[in-house]
Homo-oligomer: A and B are copies of this chain.
């Protein structure tokens, strides 16, 4: 039905009407006191959300631009980096490092499995010469719905003492607990169209004092993505290049809404939605692609057997006006992904699960107990 789309993909995610209307205001000049006030407010909001006193810088860029900035500002060509790769995004950061001439060593896991923290420990402990300059980890691997054990991996990075920990937190910030200061995460990057309840267009990078020390000697060439420029101007509540002011209007409202809800409630909501979605898939008999122990609070990937993933997506879209994500690269046609990230309420989960059960019925999928998925989800939502 025209204009009735419900987004359940891992980004863009649904945006509150209040945020959309804030973005529809006439732009203001970015070199004005009015803009600086907004910049101060949203920066304070972001620091709250990132749980940090570090700088949190705002770029006009997608999440990839933000993560690239988080890598190239603190490293030099030839530097040895250890990259965790268990999906499309881990793979992407290895490519970014290679594009800048770094020596890339990867710790891999099959797509759908979590990175093994012990593999990081082994490699870091073996590096007695302290040649590894950074460890790059994708926290929530959007392509598979796996949440890597960042806390444990980071502990091993801290034990190494020298290496920076650089985190792709694109789909974990605002969904999972990422206590930047408590864990001592050096660089944490994310994007607006994820847990931030905004359309795409802004990238965020939190930078620790230790990372700024590395910045001083890092030689990867950069200009638009040069975070030192953003830091210098952020101190005056301004930006080095024209910021997307309308996105800032939206960000201010979104930060207010998130602060009103509270961090614990936000994380709890994502946890409940993840558990409800997973319980529903189990009750329906659709295999989950990521293990329970490492389930992303942002995305649930499902690898259906006996029914085609793309057909499910097609019926969900055409009949029920729900957009699900497909598999990427070699997973295309193998999985579908349900986003439950950002501005998602309990009703949305029931809508998605009930539409999925109806879709399976239409596709003739042998479903032992129709309605069992909705019932399982409802049980979690009512009690979790």
Contacts and interface: CB of A to CB of B under 8 A. Distances in A.
A289 to B, nearest CB: 18
A158 B64 CA distance: 37
**Can you tell how many copies of this chain the complex includes?**
2
A63 B223 CA distance: 12
How many interface residues does chain A have, given as a range?
A: 35 or more
Interface in A9-51: 9, 11-15, 20-21, 23-32
**Majority-rule SS of A interface residues:** loop
A95 B99 CA distance: 22
Interface stretch (A119-127, A244-252, A268-276, A354-362): A244-252
Nearest to A249: B199
Given A11-B242, A12-B245, A245-B199, A29 B325 contact: yes
A214 interface: no
A220 interface: yes
Interface of A: 5, 7, 9, 11-15, 20-21, 23-32, 60-65, 68, 72, 77, 95-96, 99-101, 191, 193, 199-201, 220-226, 240-247, 323, 325-326
23 contacts: A9-B31, A11-B242, A12-B27, A12-B242, A13-B27, A14-B26, A15-B26, A20-B24, A23-B23, A27-B200, A30-B200, A31-B325, A62-B242, A62-B244, A63-B242, A64-B223, A68-B224, A72-B221, A100-B221, A200-B242, A200-B246, A201-B201, A201-B247
Given A7-B26, A64-B223, A244-B247, 5 more contacts: A24-B24, A27-B200, A60-B65, A62-B224, A199-B246
